[in-house]
Amino acid sequence: MSRISTDTERPFRRALALTVAALVALCAVFLTLGYLQGPKLSTAQVDTRGVVEQGGQQLRLFANQAVAQVRPDQVTISPATDFTVSTQGDIVAVQFASRLEYATDYSVTVAGVTSLYSTQPATLHYGFTTDSPTLYYLDRGETADDIVTTGLTGSDRTIVYSATRIQDFAVLDEFLAVVTLNDDHTSSLSLVNTDTSVVEKVRLPDTGSISSLDASAAGNMVGFALTSAQAGIGQKNTSTLYTIDLTAGRSVTPVLGLDGEPVSVLGWQFLPGTEQLIALSFERNLLLVDPTTGLTPLGTFMSMDKLSVDGLSVTLTDALGEVSLTLATGDVERLEPSPVAGLKAFLGATAVLPNGDRVQKVVVPDETGRRFSSLLVYDDGTAARILYQTPGGAGSISDFTVSPNGQYVAVETVPDAAASVSDGYFFDARSTSVTTVLVDLATGAQTRSVEGFALRW
């Protein structure tokens, strides 16, 4: 019986051995061909939301084998944007210097990629679409006010919080900081959890009115200026700047000035993406406040205007007019408006873009010099083109905010100034017809408008 079994197994074993050998040889051939053809893209990783919210985000391309160092001139990105590139093992990392554009198709091509084992070049290509932002704005109604979310286009809107007499609000990672007006014209501050809808009322250090509410883009700090309801001798707070670090509880802490006392401010704002802030004191001292390193004086100015979207500069006014201050160096550039359609312009609020161009509100007289128009313009330092003007020049532009990635501007406007009616709020009153229009900075196209104001990106 054993002899018959042995005779039967030998041919089978030979066949199996030959089959395995053939498969191994075939795999080796395919493996060799793969390497001779150069690296191929296995997969890629990119945070399509993160790339529009922060600079310095990466696209990571994973090849099927370790690759040689990639140079910047091998990388092409469309639409074009500044970047750096690094290589480690089988990963090619393309790091974007600044935020990318919203809702945009990006194409990244890396040419002439070679492996560590072969000089055969290959091309890696990957495309992705960036996210569209969630926009927040305040819509005041007859019986209740709504904080609403919406998008860059379309007409969809979602009410995320409603209350009576909402004065202002700010957006954090998990909360909305909401200021409401009381019957006695004092303010209350609440934290609204956007996931659970739980509302926490913040205990303020004094009874009074809140102004200049702002939140850190880092997501855990909120600040405001507080003025006591009881005025006169012994008044505790006069536009005193306070902050709350939500990672350390709900304690309201005053910001101290150069004299070590709580600072009263004419204006202030968090630097984008940080917990640092700049503040202009009642004494006209501009201060950079860092929770870690303390205070840095930046000079003396009359008023504070707008921070640049990258947080590197701020526009202010001095005795001679509007200037731009570079925070890192203290360099001051005087701002002069370019002509608009050949007509002299008079400069108003200004926001400086990362490339040095400016978005600014100007007043322009007509050819007769008897009528004036309020315009929002894009000024490259040589000429200014109109981004927005009210229909027929009948309205007014009250404020504007450039999107954090410098792609859009939200224009707060009253379409018909002559017919405008105030909503009657004791603080931060607005016209009942106030409208916010979104404009593409590159093209001047209006993407949509909403009936409301205080738009947050």
- Confidence bin at 392 (pLDDT 50/70/90): confident
Residue 135: is its pLDDT beyond 90?
Answer: yes
- Confidence bin at 36 (pLDDT 50/70/90): low
pLDDT tens digits, 421-438: 999 999 999 999 999 999
Residue 33: is its pLDDT beyond 60?
Answer: no
Residue 12: is its pLDDT beyond 60?
Answer: no
> Does residue 366 or residue 180 have the better pLDDT?
180
Q: What is the residue-wise DSSP string for 348-413?
A: EEEEE-TTS-EEEEEEEE-TTSS-EEEEEEEE-SS-EEEEE--GGG-SEEEEEEE-TTSSEEEEEE
At 10 the pLDDT is: 62
> Does residue 142 or residue 106 have the better pLDDT?
106
- Confidence bin at 446 (pLDDT 50/70/90): very high
Mean of the per-residue pLDDT values of the chain: 90
Which structure tokens are listed for 436? 């916010």
Q: What is the mean pLDDT of residues 352-361?
A: 94
Q: Which of 86-100, 233-247, 287-301 has the highest mean pLDDT?
A: 86-100
Residue 153: is its pLDDT beyond 60?
Answer: yes
Q: What is the mean pLDDT of residues 189-200?
A: 94
Helix intervals (H) in 38-122: 50-53
At 23 the pLDDT is: 62
- Confidence bin at 4 (pLDDT 50/70/90): very low
Domains of the chain: 41-129 (2.60.40.1220)
Angle at 229 between CA 226 and CA 230, to 5 degrees: 120
At 21 the pLDDT is: 58
Residue 337: is its pLDDT beyond 80?
Answer: yes
User: Beta-carbon neighbour count of residue 149 at 10 Å?
Assistant: 17
Q: What is the mean pLDDT of residues 124-142?
A: 96
At 373 the pLDDT is: 84
At 248 the pLDDT is: 86
At 19 the pLDDT is: 63
Q: What is the mean pLDDT of residues 409-420?
A: 94
At 213 the pLDDT is: 97
At 1 the pLDDT is: 44
Residue 2: is its pLDDT beyond 50?
Answer: no
Residue 24: is its pLDDT beyond 80?
Answer: no
At 3 the pLDDT is: 47
Specify the 3-state DSSP secondary structure of 41. strand
Q: What is the mean pLDDT of residues 3-29?
A: 56
Nearest to 297 by CA among 337, 325, 335: 325
Residue 8: is its pLDDT beyond 70?
Answer: no
Residue 175: is its pLDDT beyond 50?
Answer: yes
Q: What is the mean pLDDT of residues 197-219?
A: 92
At 50 the pLDDT is: 93
- Confidence bin at 17 (pLDDT 50/70/90): low
Q: Which residues neighbour 182 within 8 Å (Cβ) at sequence distance 6 or greater?
A: 165, 188
Angle at 77 between CA 74 and CA 83, to 5 degrees: 75
Q: Kind and range of the H or E element at 3?
A: helix 2-36
pLDDT tens digits, 270-280: 999 899 999 99
At 366 the pLDDT is: 73
